[in-house]
């Protein structure tokens, strides 16, 4: 098996739309968020935009990335108008996938999921890392 660990995160960024407004518009509680001007990096820097996130980490227990993407699509079912409203308000929406590989092979995005994401106006991308099977072995 080539995938050792994976998760997917719906990410919404905006210069003006706050995480609270995004949450109310989508009617989805984020797994994480931050507001513009919030401190980060031990207070040395300030956020330049608002960020709202819903992650499958600890929600979908699978090394099949398609299951993580499917969970986000299901979470967004019936919310096309809300997504469009957010896009019109200037929000940038995508799905970021964390994917750790131990060899050949890679994630796949089936045509039906491509179609749904395109209709929702959501870009998708993968952040790929390479690991060792031994680092992910089951404890004995």
pLDDT digit string, tens, across residues 6-65: 999 999 999 999 999 999 999 999 999 999 998 888 888 999 999 999 999 999 999 999
- Taking the C-alpha atoms of residue 139 and residue 52, their distance in angstroms, rounded to an integer, is 35
Tell me: pLDDT of 95 over 50.
yes
Domain ranges of the chain: 3-133
> Does residue 22 contact residue 67 with C-beta atoms inside 8 Å?
no
pLDDT digit string, tens, across residues 54-74: 999 999 999 999 999 999 999
> Does residue 6 contact residue 100 with C-beta atoms inside 8 Å?
yes
Using 50, 70 and 90 to split pLDDT, how confident is the model at 135? confident
- 0.75 exceeded by pTM: yes
Give CA angle at 105 (100, 109), nearest 5°.
85
DSSP 3-state assignment of 65?
helix
> Does residue 137 contact residue 5 with C-beta atoms inside 8 Å?
no
- Taking the C-alpha atoms of residue 68 and residue 26, their distance in angstroms, rounded to an integer, is 19
Write down the pLDDT at residue 55.
Answer: 98
Tell me: pLDDT of 139 over 80.
no
To the nearest 10°, the Cα dihedral for 90, 77, 80, 96?
A: 30
> Does residue 17 contact residue 90 with C-beta atoms inside 8 Å?
yes
Using 50, 70 and 90 to split pLDDT, how confident is the model at 140? very low
Write down the pLDDT at residue 105.
Answer: 82
């Amino acid at each position: 098996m080539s995938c050792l660990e994976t998760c997917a995160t719906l990410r919404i960024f905006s210069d003006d739309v706050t995480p609270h407004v995004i949450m109310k518009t989508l009617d989805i509680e984020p797994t994480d968020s931050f507001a513009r001007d919030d401190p980060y990096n031990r207070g040395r820097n300030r956020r330049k935009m608002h960020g709202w996130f819903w992650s499958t980490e600890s929600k979908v227990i699978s090394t099949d990335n398609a299951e993580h993407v499917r969970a986000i699509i299901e979470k967004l079912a019936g919310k096309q108008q809300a997504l469009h409203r957010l896009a019109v308000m200037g929000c940038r929406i995508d799905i970021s996938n964390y994917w750790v590989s131990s060899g050949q092979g890679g994630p796949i995005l089936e045509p039906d999921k491509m179609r749904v994401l395109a209709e929702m106006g959501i870009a998708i991308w993968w952040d790929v890392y390479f690991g060792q099977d031994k680092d992910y072995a089951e404890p004995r």
